[in-house]
Amino acid sequence: MSGKKRTIIILEVIAAIIGLISAYGSSCPTFTPPTDPTSSLYIMNQMQWIFIITTLLSWAAAIGSGVLVWAIKKNKKWAYITAIITNITGFISGLIPALLIMLIGGSSFSPSLLRTFIYLIILILLLIPSFKEALFEDESEKGSVSTNLSAVLIIPGLILSLQTLIVAPTHIIDDVNVYMYNSLQLIGGLVMVAIGLFVFAIGRYRKKIE
């Protein structure tokens, strides 16, 4: 697998993971918004229909990114156009809530904004001809399974772990930290990194003895 194709796959994995976490985290306040006008999230009550749409789009984009990883690996013809649509959807679904969060005085670097940038980066890369061509290349003799798998595990794992350090301050709502899955995400990210390093080490060892 070429570096360009691997880059797209890794970014899509990151987008899928962060997208699922973001969609899951926003579902509760979106469908059961606070009714107290003094709440920092009262805007979700006033503009609930916008948040419902963006949350549903977030779920769709996150799941779509996961499907795209498989499609790109299998060189499916519909992978490119689907990638464009999925990442545009992800970009919009992240940008709107991010702007609304900043509108009410929230953090300027929320998880929604983070995935917005990820989707934007993927979109820009997909518009570069060499990256587009890389999606359809024959990877039968390029790269090893262990190297590709370890990269897909390690890099998203690091992003997932580091996000917990960034996200917590953005989830102080009404003086309460509502980021309840902080430790779970941190542990999950570190486990991914550990597995990735193990797979990489096994691959290097097997290559050495061959």
For 87-137, what is each residue's pLDDT tens digit? 999 999 989 988 887 776 655 556 677 788 889 999 999 999 988 888 877
The pLDDT assigned to 109 comes to 59
Give dist(CA 200, CA 210) in Å, integer.
Answer: 16
The pLDDT assigned to 136 comes to 77
The pLDDT assigned to 200 comes to 79
Give me 90's structure tokens: 């992800």
Q: What is the dihedral of CA 176, 182, 184, 187, to 10 degrees?
A: -150
Give me 145's structure tokens: 């399974």
Parallel, antiparallel, or unpaired: how do β-strands 172-173 and 176-177 relate?
A: antiparallel
Residue 141: CB atoms within 10 Å: 6
pTM for the predicted model, two decimal places = 0.72
The pLDDT assigned to 32 comes to 83
The pLDDT assigned to 44 comes to 77
Which residue ranges of the chain lie beneath pLDDT 70? 1-2, 39-40, 104-111, 138-148, 151-152, 160, 163-185, 210
**Chain-centre distance of CA 165, in angstroms?**
16
The pLDDT assigned to 168 comes to 58
For residue 153, give the amino acid letter: L
Give dist(CA 183, CA 187) in Å, integer.
Answer: 6
